Amino acid sequence: MGLTVSPVSKLRGSFSVSGDKSITHRAFIFSSISRSEVFVRNPNRGEDVMRTLVAMQSVGAKAREEKDGFYIKGIGLSNVKEPENILYCGNSGTTMRLLSGLFAGINGKLFIADGDESLKKRPMKRVIEPISLMGGKIWGRRGNAFAPLAIKGAKLHGISYKMKVASAQVKSAIILAALSADGKTVIDEKARSRNHTEIMLKEFGGKIETNGKITVYPTDNLRYDELFVPGDFSSAAYFIALALIAKDADIVIKNVGVNPTRSYLVNKLKDAGGRIELFNRRIENGEPVCDISVKSSHLHGISVDASEVPLLIDEIPLIGVIGAFSEGKTVVRGASELRVKESDRIKLTVSNLKSFGIEAEEFEDGFSVKGGRAKYGFVKTAFDHRIALSFIIFALAGEGAEIEEVKSINISFPEFFDILERVKNG
């Protein structure tokens, strides 16, 4: 369903965003394989994370929904059962990749994982290769390149593995497989990526060392009581961007997770002249959390290189949007990974910017954007939630737009328009 988006004149107020999507995936998984009942408070309730919860229920975990979250009764790794049906992951690469690692070590059980048309085009060999080195048995289409995946649980052994791509999903799949492997597993990251899995495993009582390399030891005795999921930084980023580039904005976003592997965008935006303040800092379940104040700002261009891309992976289309409202040129390089996300995000970012009359150039591994005056445009989303949200922000700060569809935002940020209504009338 398409939507006409009109520009906003002002933004005022304070609010919270939905729970962190990445942390919620992991909270549902670790709670399900724990030997305790865990209350996951303030979870993300988007379609992606619910795919993970349903998958864990299908292998034996029990979940009870409350207003503020979910009680999840864990079953322990050794009690994971073979599901009666195919595990449908929808659009969620996180669900498919992490569970492939987890289930690879459930000896003698068969798991079939499938997804929608977009997920079937996303690369899976990057997960299958390291898990196979551990003794895992995973098969996929086209020489194990794509879903659907068949996972035959096997007896795994620990390995020393040097990451070929900077991917938190691949790293997390290996960590989850390592929990049921014989001996320790050592992971050497190509570049720093999101570390929510490492933090949560330690919180649940797992033995993991993160001094340079990541060393994981097997365990089937994970336990926890109550886990608070901080606000999703990637969701907050859309309102941070909107407040910076809108003409009259002054907002506060409460209880946002600011793990340094997630909130690096703040550093880039501050360096570009953004008026952003982080305050009320604290630690919740091992994760740093704070409130964020944002005001309208005069920005200059941003440069992103390959070493920074893993820390900005979800926000790069949004950086393109911000660049259109900034003085000078914004350049992103080393981001070829964006071509194999839910869509080709490099191509769509550039083509949509051009539809608004913005000067933009596409590279194989990124793009450049020259700040300019936006006109009314039409946005093609390819049903990618990150593209849809990024260009809704463009339309709100510019001259408006016709958006191809907005249903895809339910994957990660179903409350977006409810929050927008509150702050634009504040």
CB 213: neighbour CB atoms within 10 A?
13
What is residue 203's three-state secondary structure?
helix
Q: What is the mean pLDDT of residues 334-348?
A: 95
Q: Give the number of domains in the chain.
A: 2
d(CA 375, CA 121): 34
State the pTM of this model: 0.92
Exposure letters 348-370 (e unless 16+ CB within 10 A, then b) = bbbebbebbebebebeeebbbbb
Q: What is the mean pLDDT of residues 10-15?
A: 96
d(CA 298, CA 321): 14
Interstrand relation of 146-152 and 185-188 (parallel, antiparallel or unpaired): unpaired
Q: What is the mean pLDDT of residues 340-364?
A: 96
263 vs 192, higher pLDDT? 263
Instruction: Check which CATH number belongs to the domain holding 37 and give it.
Output: 3.65.10.10
pLDDT 10s digits, 141-153 = 999 999 999 999 9
Peptide bond into 317 cis (omega under 30): no
Domain co-membership, 243 together with 259? yes
Residues belonging to the active site: 314
Q: What is the DSSP letter of 231?
A: B
Domain co-membership, 36 together with 159? yes
CB 373: neighbour CB atoms within 10 A?
11
Domain co-membership, 379 together with 393? yes
Domain co-membership, 259 together with 150? no
| Residue labelled with tokens 């990024």 | 390
pLDDT 10s digits, 14-51 = 999 999 999 999 999 999 999 999 999 999 999 999 99
Say what the pLDDT of residue 425 is: 73
Domain boundary among 201, 228, 255: 228
| Edge-to-edge strand list for the sheet holding 185-188 | 160-162, 185-188, 214-216, 208-209
Domain co-membership, 249 together with 177? no
Q: What is the mean pLDDT of residues 303-312?
A: 94
Domain boundary among 228, 246, 275: 228
Domain co-membership, 131 together with 252? no
Question: DSSP H helical segments within 145-281, as ranges?
Answer: 168-178, 196-203, 233-245, 264-271
Q: Which of 270, 301, 422 is nearest to 370 (CA)?
A: 301
CA dihedral 197, 201, 203, 209 (to 10 degrees): -100
Domain co-membership, 71 together with 11? no
Is residue 426 predicted with pLDDT exceeding 70?
no
Say what the pLDDT of residue 28 is: 98
Domain co-membership, 65 together with 44? yes
Which pLDDT band, with edges at 50, 70 and 90, does 165 fall under? confident
Domain co-membership, 133 together with 273? no
Is residue 424 predicted with pLDDT exceeding 70?
yes
**Domain coverage including residue 49:** 21-228
Domain boundary among 194, 228, 262: 228
Q: What is the mean pLDDT of residues 103-119?
A: 97
Domain co-membership, 78 together with 11? no
What is residue 138's three-state secondary structure?
strand
pLDDT 10s digits, 187-219 = 999 788 899 999 999 999 999 999 889 999 999
Which pLDDT band, with edges at 50, 70 and 90, does 1 fall under? low
Domain co-membership, 192 together with 237? no
Sheet strands (E) in 28-106: 37-41, 62-66, 69-73, 87-88
pLDDT 10s digits, 79-98 = 999 999 999 999 999 999 99
Distances from the Cα of 101 to the Cα of 53, 82, 188, 392, 400, angstroms: 16, 15, 17, 35, 44
**What is the C-alpha end-to-end distance of the chain, expressed in Å?**
28
Domain co-membership, 8 together with 59? no
Say what the pLDDT of residue 190 is: 78
- What percent of the chain has pLDDT above 70? 100
